[in-house]
Structure 1
Amino acid sequence: MDKNNILAVLEQLIIGQHFQCEWGIEWNEQQHYFELIFQFSLPNPNGISFKDAFGNSISYTTIPYETSILFYDKDHLNVEHSNYVNSIPISHNQGIAYGELFAIVKYLKHLTSSVRVEWLDYLFDSPHDAYFEICWNDHDFAQIKKGLIEANRYNSAPVFFPKNEAKGGLY
């Protein structure tokens, strides 16, 4: 594993946390960003009808749900509005601290672990025309990061976007 490559580091951190969902990383080299995507199969025991992202009505016994986090090079991409749980800027020159990435993964483990419970609450307690989504909570993330710092488990060594060797070492 390249200890300076954010994609390799992130993959190892996620594998180490044993996420209980499908996940993947999609790297867009030309646009200088990558998405960390989470996919869930959520139960729909009563066959309630929902509208998908395209406005189609679905009433499967298992509802597919996908959400993602955007990591982007703030020196090359300007993110104004997004449909992500969170958008995380990373400096091309300074990278992102390994500890910050570790805190993000720990927080995402907590967040994704609660999806089924939140889904069932939504399914039985909410009007079904409301949109189901999971939300990033800055305070909860800060608590995880603070805990890592206090336990001396926060490593400030930077990790960076992958380099493209075909472009002379620049990505």
Structure 2
Amino acid sequence: MRNNMIERITDTMNALHFPCEWRIQWFEREQKIEIILMLEVQAPENTKLTDKYQSVNSSDHFVFEDVVLLFHPNLGVLKDDNYLATIAFDDEKGVSGGLIDAICKTMRLVIGEAVVELEEFLMSDAYDHFEIKWNNQNYLSTLQTLKDTSRFDTSIYSYPSELPEGVVKNNEVE
């Protein structure tokens, strides 16, 4: 069995115990993988919030989503503002385990900070908006630290040619 990116991302995210729900969406023809991070929100009663699409919540309980996109550069032009981060994989064979580790560790840190910031946003009038922010410097530092400490996994994880049965059964990939 070949190692593929989706399996490695899933295993890494499970091992990091993310403080939010998440799922992976695979777009085979477009050669892209979306990692969707979902923060469950319980807003104070009768709080009305407007998202970037000008939709207003109809309930005090809703989910805030953001997406990290892994894509092959042949995808073409992307609207970066639709994603928390966009990361190209240009190796025809796939990506290294070290790259996946750095992406997942950075997402874990970003989501941990976002959970705290979201709570502060909901409880204080001092903030006029909330957004999850990708920390690219942290991502690059994590990559470098993994390399400097000889913990960078050079194993290549291929872009999947088909979905692994276990991942489909767990409904982690749509």
Structure 1 residue 53, shift from structure 2 partner:
5.5
**Aligned amino acid, residue 103 of structure 1:** A
Q: What residue is the counterpart of 1:36 in the other structure? A: 35
Structure 1 residue 105, shift from structure 2 partner:
0.6
Contact 2:110–2:135 (Cα < 8 Å) also in 1: no
Q: What residue is the counterpart of 1:167 in the other structure? A: none
Deviations 1:62-97 (A, max 9, x none): 3320001111111x2013313101111112514222
**Aligned amino acid, residue 69 of structure 1:** V
**Aligned amino acid, residue 64 of structure 1:** V
Q: What residue is the counterpart of 2:8 in the other structure? A: 9
Which sits farther off after the overlay, 48-57 or 65-74? 48-57
CA distance in 2, matches of 1:63, 1:120: 14
Q: What residue is the counterpart of 2:77 in the other structure? A: 79
Q: What residue is the counterpart of 2:56 in the other structure? A: 57
Q: What residue is the counterpart of 2:167 in the other structure? A: none
Q: What residue is the counterpart of 2:139 in the other structure? A: 141
**Aligned amino acid, residue 126 of structure 1:** Y
State the percentage of identical aligned residues.
24
Q: Structure 1's 103 and 121: CA in aligned 2 closer, same or farther, altered over 3 A?
A: same
Structure 1 residue 136, shift from structure 2 partner:
1.2
**Aligned amino acid, residue 76 of structure 2:** N
**Aligned amino acid, residue 127 of structure 2:** S
Deviations 1:113-141 (A, max 9, x none): 122211123331212xx4x2111111111
Instruction: Give the structure, 1 or 2, with the largest relative contact order (CA under 8 Å, sep 6 or more).
Output: 2
Q: What residue is the counterpart of 2:127 in the other structure? A: 126
Deviations 1:138-170 (A, max 9, x none): 111122222222221101222221125xxxxxx
2:75 is paired with a residue whose SS is coil
CA distance in 2, matches of 1:43, 1:80: 32
1:152-167 equivalence runs, <5 A: 152-163=150-161
TM-score with structure 2 setting the length: 0.82
Q: Structure 1's 115 and 159: CA in aligned 2 closer, same or farther, altered over 3 A?
A: same
**Aligned amino acid, residue 41 of structure 1:** E
TM-score with structure 1 setting the length: 0.83
In the comparison of the two structures, how many residue pairs are matched? 160
Q: Structure 1's 59 and 13: CA in aligned 2 closer, same or farther, altered over 3 A?
A: same
CA distance in 2, matches of 1:56, 1:9: 35
Contact 1:2–1:9 (Cα < 8 Å) also in 2: no
Unaligned runs of 5+ in 1: 165-171
